[in-house]
Chains A and B, each alone.
Chain A
Amino acid sequence: MNNLLLKLVFLFNFLWEHLGVDTVQLKAILSTKVKMDSRRASVFNTQGRTSKKALKNQDWVSILVFFFIGLFFIGPLIIFQEKATGFTLYFAGWMVMLAMTLITDFTEVLIDVRDNFILLPKPINDRTLTISRLLHIGIYLSKLVLAFILPALVFIGVKYGLLGMLIFGLQILLGLVFVIFIVNLIYLLILQISTPQKFKEILNYLQIGFTVTIFSAYYLLPRLVDFEDYENANILLSPFVLLLPPSWLAGLWSVFIDGDHSLVVLTLSALAIVTPFICGWLILTVLTQTFNQKLVAITQGGGDTKDTKEKKAEVIKQSSRMEWLANWVCNNEAEKAAFKWSWRLTARNRDYKLRVYPGFGMVPALFVYFALNGDGSLQERWAALPESNSYLLLIYFCFLLLTTPLISSQYSNKQIASWIFHASPLKEPGWILSGTAKAIVTKYFLPAYAIMFAIGLFIWGPMVIDDFMLGFANIMLLETIILTFFHPKKIPFSDNWDNMNKGSNFTAGVLSLFLAGVLGGLHYLIVDQTLVVMGIALVMIVAWYFVFRKYQLTGWRSLA
């Protein structure tokens, strides 16, 4: 597959040469890059990281994932009577998938720091570097695009014949250029408004935002839209249709296959055809030049001194607040040290943030999904909310907010640095574990729980106070029990991310989910009796104290 695509690229060598590219170098760079991609672990293909030793092609997993999602997206093409609506949905799904893949999965390829050390000292001209980068993206995407569109292509071929397939191919090609442009544009915008040093940080947040958006949209959209008579929905009647790039592409279909020549459809088609050409021109002339210059700057080091000063001030400001918290919640110096250490590491470790932060967006989305799940219109469901006990869901979803950060805190990509604890004259490593747990509870759980509490107060009023108290006690006790007795104990940040997702963590996740359900259920039984709720909360808090004591005294031998 890869070789075929590469051969296809090299068929156009005359063209590349015409553009000022050194084709020998182009071939060397491209074939190496493609080879490296197939050995790289991706979002869809995490096993790649663990089986490092084997030289094996692994991109088939990504391709399969894209194929099945593509299969799923034929749905809109079949359901909707107005084909433009179906195609808009199809292309929307496809473009989002592509853009997401480019940003999350391909960022490290697009801005491969090693290029600056390996390729830049070699006699390669700028054009060769630029074209090889663009072609590399093209090759990478084309496989996924082919996998994605294959089901639809077959469907269209059977139903509309050769002409349909040709128009579909045209739509895909135009869409591809558009997506590459958009991603380039996003990167450029980020580079414009921020320093190169912050670039990766911002991309990280962008990835988190993407995950949350996709997840929420997936859960919420079907809930918020009343799908009566949806087969006859017609996107062309919407006033916003001109702003939707997927609709531009869909317009082509209406013109050439459905024979619709209304003004809206013609405008859409014109946009679909003209925009990619403008984009292509912009990419090749203005953007890549700035892009490459900026990319080089990312790794050049040095940088402006102002930025480091700002960072320093930020660090000092964070420190004093954290120092105060540490003094307040920790029992001894070792625990305090671990508290501060974990607080800093969790804030500065990109991988950690990527694992943990999306969860905070998903919980409200999940809540809305479950709380508004039911009959009647959206307004009716919303009006019925204060009558229900849905705030219990708010409380026990917070359980998930705590489990992920706690479990993730065992992992790091600099796991070897934990030698420092093994080399230190520490009697019980339990204090390190408990300090980290306290830092994570204080930093991530408490603020989130406070927000949930505020939401609860706002919708249901003071009657939720006792339940939030019991909920807090329950979550704390349960989490401590899991950490102390069920989850393998490790020095924080002492294991590589590659080892995550193996048995035990999964078990702990499922266990906590199950227990949260049970606890929530039991809580539901007594929810109306305030005194009972308060009494049980008190008992739970006392129990929590004793179990946590045991956790603090974890010895070296009980470490996994």
Chain B
Amino acid sequence: MNEPIISIKGLKKSYGSNEVLRGIDLDIYPGQVIGYIGPNGAGKSTTVRILIGLDADFEGEVVLKGHNVKTDALAVKKLIGYVPEQAEMYEVLSPMEFLELVGSLHHMDKAVLEERALRMLRFFDLEAQKDQRIDTFSKGMRQKVLLISGLIHNPEIIFLDEPLSGLDANSVIMVKEIIARLAAEGKTIFYSSHMMDIVEKVSERIVLINQGAIVADGSFDSLKAQTGGSLEQIFSDLTRGEGFENSTGDFFEAFQENKGTDE
């Protein structure tokens, strides 16, 4: 295979005494769709933040297409598209105005920008709302605008952090198709999520992290061969280990003690 487009070596990150990432090594190649999964607090979003050059305070080496994120964050940011998990937007703007801002920051030609924004909004059924303020939008509609804003400049590497939150079933199908098309065009996609069923379908390679370290890395089929069962099963096996049944038992045991006072 050719040169990796994303190369992570010995990535460590801690907040005070709390070690969030404990040495991640990962090579990602052009055109790959990586499903980056892990339980809550495993370090998914932290990894993404470091990869896109938002946080230079870490140990190890992270290189995107030859650019070191520590020393050349600006070049990295030019390459990437990012859909953040926390849907922060300038809500008093309309989608068109917001996309215009994002496009201009990437030095896009104004005519191209407008044409593209319109088409993408139309694709997501938002054309009628293109001049309405975002603060009137539902969660799903906002997420669509956010998705467009991460893709509009046609980036080479795309980081999606829980991109489907709030979307209805039809929109989820549409996004899945978009991801497949983007991958076919040779884009690299880093898909961070804890929704297993979708990760299973869109990603050709799955990286599972737990407590800041990679615990599994491979295609869905190879992971399945290792442990058997669905991705959900693999996930819980690797991140909870033994005693999964018991822990749900604990939950229900909580009812037992004061059963008398319930009624």
Q: Which residues from chain A sit less than 8 Å from chain B, CB to CB?
A: 24-25, 27-29, 32, 35-36, 39-40, 52-53, 55, 113-114, 116-125, 300, 302-306
Contacts and interface: CB of A to CB of B under 8 A. Distances in A.
Interface of B: 15-18, 20, 52-55, 74-75, 77-78, 80, 82, 84, 86, 88-90, 92-94, 97, 100-102, 104-107, 131-133, 135-136
B93 A118 contact: no
A55 to B, nearest CB: 7
11 contacts: A25-B107, A35-B93, A36-B90, A36-B92, A53-B133, A114-B90, A117-B84, A121-B80, A121-B82, A123-B77, A303-B15
Contact of B106 (A27, A122, A304, A306): A122
Contacts of B132: 53
Given A117-B84, A125-B74, A300 B101 contact: no
A55 B90 CA distance: 14
Contacts of A113: 88
Sorted nearest first, the 9 A-B pairs with minimum C-beta distance are: A28-B104, A302-B15, A117-B88, A123-B77, A39-B92, A123-B78, A122-B105, A114-B88, A305-B16
A32 B88 contact: no
Contacts of A116: 54, 88
Contacts of B55: 300
Among B52, B97, B104, B136: residue with most chain A CB under 10 A: B104
Given A36-B90, A39-B92, A123-B78, A28 B101 contact: yes
B41 to A, nearest CB: 12
Contacts of A119: 105
Most chain B beta carbons < 10 A, residue from A39, A40, A121, A124: A121
Nearest to A32: B101
B94 A55 contact: yes
Contact of B101 (A29, A39, A117): A29
A118 B16 CA distance: 26
A497 to B, nearest CB: 15
Contacts of A302: 15-16, 18, 20
Contacts of A55: 94, 131, 133
A18 B92 CA distance: 33
B104 A27 contact: yes
* Interface-centre pick from B86, B93, B105, B132 (highest chain A CB count, 10 A): B105
A31 to B, nearest CB: 8
Contacts of A304: 15-16
Given A52-B133, A117-B86, A118-B101, 19 more contacts: A25-B107, A28-B100, A28-B101, A28-B105, A32-B93, A40-B92, A53-B132, A55-B94, A55-B131, A55-B133, A114-B89, A118-B102, A119-B105, A121-B80, A122-B77, A123-B74, A123-B77, A302-B15, A306-B16
Contacts of A53: 132-133, 136
Nearest to B101: A32
A248 B263 CA distance: 77
Contacts of A36: 90, 92-93
Given A39-B92, A123-B77, A305 B136 contact: no
A460 to B, nearest CB: 54
Nearest to A39: B92
Nearest to B85: A117
A40 B93 CA distance: 11
Contact of A24 (B53, B77, B93, B107): B107
A124 B105 contact: yes
Contacts of B54: 116, 120-121
B105 A29 contact: yes
A286 B107 CA distance: 30
A40 B135 CA distance: 12
B112 to A, nearest CB: 14
Chain B CB within 10 A, most for which of A32, A52, A114, A306? A32
B77 A121 contact: yes
Contacts of A305: 15-18
Nearest to B105: A122
A36 B94 CA distance: 10
Contacts of A120: 54
A114 B146 CA distance: 13
Given A121-B82, A302-B15, A25 B104 contact: yes
Contacts of A306: 16
A280 B167 CA distance: 49
Contacts of B133: 39, 52-53, 55
Contact of A121 (B20, B84, B93, B94): B84
B44 to A, nearest CB: 14
A302 B19 CA distance: 11
Contacts of B104: 24-25, 27-28
Contact of A35 (B84, B97, B136): B97
A158 B16 CA distance: 64
A113 B15 CA distance: 20
A40 to B, nearest CB: 7
Nearest to A54: B133
